[in-house]
Amino acid sequence: MNVTVVGSGYVGLVVGACLAETGNQVACADIDERKIGMLNEGKSPIYEPGLDRLLQRNLAEGRIRFTTDVADAVREGQVVFIAVGTPPDEDGSADLQHVLAVARVIGQNLVDEKVVITKSTVPVGTASKVREEIEKHTDGTFHVCSNPEFLKEGAAIDDFMRPDRVVCGIESEGARPVLEELYEPFVRSGNPLIFMDIASAELTKYAANAMLATRISFMNQIAALCEAAGADVTMVRRGVGSDPRIGASFLYAGAGYGGSCFPKDVRALIQTGEEMDVDLSILKEVHETNERQKKVLGRKIRTRFGEDLSGKSFAVWGLAFKPETDDMREAASVTVIEELLAAGATVTAHDPVAEEVAREWYLGDRIEYAQDEYAALSGADALVVVTEWLQYRRPSWERVKAALEAPIIFDGRNLYDPARMRRHGFEYYPIGREQVR
């Protein structure tokens, strides 16, 4: 099948590479010449495990190509995915200008019947706007569909290749066989290909992310209660998560969620509710709880060292919002580091892959960057753990203790056991657990 993917960001690249891997002829189009140049050399502009290998193999075998000629790519595709960004507007709603710009190009270049699939995360009602924009420029036949992505950064290839479900919103039966053929290689193990109306599909994506964000914020509120009551949030999580009606996923207390999805999608869903006069007060509290949670580590540090941190130095382990990605959008690390700098401290950070992103977009040269996690510790007054990379989970405590000015750790992801920290002689400040003074 000839497939066109417009937008070569995180979602578009994963979709294009995985569809090419199953034998489709894929054209990925983007107006960013620098990005397309990198991709034609087999280099991904984003960090995602396994993506470079897929791109290089399918480039070499002629199943995928990258172009800045969006119109040409649209004309050749039987299926056209819209996978451009939908950044938050000032009021929190999703900005649809890029989605509708692609719809306009599709309408202007509709030379035969096409299935147009919105893959970008968009609010309910967007498919109707896409259809209206295409119809302004053509009388040709096309089918508009909603096919939301459920890709976890750091595991996106596996999520696409072995999905737990594929959601397809359709408005005509003419699109169903095309989608069935396209996704048949990925649902052979029996996980469902779920067809529904378009509005339900559009809302499913937002509702799923909002539910996961709610679980995280709920557990972070419980963590605050645990600290006040002398309880251990990890024990509470085990007890609660063992209930099969609840499950253990996304019940980890920590320094707050970030990334490209949860913060943006929660705000967009709140805005949609306001536009439709529906009270989504639960989600408003989810968002506000998360914003407060990002400041918990900074508050713990100032409680320990005082409000004025002039002359103090801190080592930070982790910059990305989660492991296995270089994405720092809405990352808790940025909030923590900005608060430390504002209080007069100096910061040396380490992250296995996100240093370049931090330098270019978020922190610049206001902090130091270490080549490895131990180098970041040298002379620091304390270690602050913000991202749960695997290499941080079992460090050499002898090296950590020897490098720090004082053996003090603030753990924003509850990686370490308080009893073990006590045995190793550390002062330890986790989230919702026993502090070791």
Which residues are tagged catalytic?
A: 261
What length does the chain have? 437
For residues 315 and 399, what is the distance between their CA atoms, to the nearest angstrom? Answer: 14
Q: Which helix (H) or strand (E) holds 75?
A: helix 70-76
Q: What is the DSSP string of 168-229?
A: EEESSGGGHHHHHHHHGGGSTTS--EEEE-HHHHHHHHHHHHHHHHHHHHHHHHHHHHHHHH
Asked if residues 252 and 216 have their Cβ atoms less than 8 Å apart, the reply is yes
Asked if residues 150 and 165 have their Cβ atoms less than 8 Å apart, the reply is yes
Pairing of strands 193-196, 166-170: parallel
Write phi, then psi, for 365 (nearest 5 degrees). -105, 20
For residues 159 and 142, what is the distance between their CA atoms, to the nearest angstrom? Answer: 29
> Exposed e or buried b for every residue in 234-246, given b needs 16+ CB within 10 A?
bebbeebbeeeee
Asked if residues 350 and 376 have their Cβ atoms less than 8 Å apart, the reply is yes
Asked if residues 36 and 64 have their Cβ atoms less than 8 Å apart, the reply is no
Give the type of residue at 337: I
Instruction: Compute the C-alpha angle 68/150/110, nearest 5°.
Output: 40
For residues 68 and 34, what is the distance between their CA atoms, to the nearest angstrom? Answer: 10
